[in-house]
Amino acid sequence: MAVVHRAAFCAAAAFVAMAIGAEAIQLDDDRWTRTFPVDAGDLISTGRNPCFILEPGWQMVYEGGNERLVITVLDETRVIDGVETRLVEERETRSGQIVEVSRNFFAISRRTNGVFYFGEEVDLYRDGEVAGHEGAWVSGTEGARFGLMMPGLPLLGARYYQEIAPEVAMDRAEIVGLDATVKCPAGVFEHCLKVEETTPLEAGEKEYKYYAPGIGLVQDGSLKLVRYGPADVPEP
């Protein structure tokens, strides 16, 4: 019986690897994919995944309570771990005061459309001044390796690490829904991908994100999408 279960697991793992679009070959003991042997020459800094847009000028604005988050794909690239990545800025404010600005590095596969995450620079603010850089990491340095941010073909139950920076950032994702409906100030979005995020660095903590086809992230915890589109379009 154990042999049958092992064979079934191997077959399922291979199927998930293909769906992730990275041909992942190494799994943690708890079944989280963490190795993605992609060809660096296949990764580019601009592209569009059904649930993740990596095109300069694309911007998304979220609000919830007294918090506001603005995500902007910048017209800027940087070579990280031998790969040209695209910078995506996240700017978070609380009660109108800046609390965090991060510059994230992404690349997308031409072959599979999977989006990979190569690290981030982080500025944490206190009283308008930079007070720290907690959570910053870069693939290829200090044992950190890139992770998978968004599969090219999501499968229900797929589990994978988004970032692999020991003792710094170890976020991981599990796809727990493929057909969610999310109501936001920006509209009602159907057939959304629901992702549960956890980290072994904070046992028991969970966060849910929803991604709409053709748009991207529409809800991040309590933050909901209020505007999306080109960054140079003025807000209503």
For 97-119, the DSSP string reads: EEEEEEEEEEEEETTT--EEEEE
Q: Which ranges of the chain have pLDDT less than 50? A: 1-29
pLDDT recorded at residue 233: 62
Those residues whose C-beta lies under 8 Å from the C-beta of residue 97, and which sit 6 or more positions away, are: 125, 128
Cβ-based neighbour number of residue 196 at 10 Å:
15
**228 contacts 59 by C-beta, under 8 angstroms:** yes
pLDDT recorded at residue 138: 98
pLDDT recorded at residue 176: 98
pLDDT recorded at residue 232: 75
**158 contacts 19 by C-beta, under 8 angstroms:** yes
Residue 211 phi, psi dihedral angles, 5° rounding: -125, 130
3-state DSSP assignment of residue 19: helix
CA 58/CA 64 separation, integer angstroms: 21
Those residues whose C-beta lies under 8 Å from the C-beta of residue 137, and which sit 6 or more positions away, are: 119, 120, 144, 163, 165, 168, 169
CA 215/CA 187 separation, integer angstroms: 11
User: pTM of the full predicted structure?
Assistant: 0.87
pLDDT digit string, tens, across residues 125-169:
998 999 999 999 999 999 999 999 999 999 999 999 999 999 999
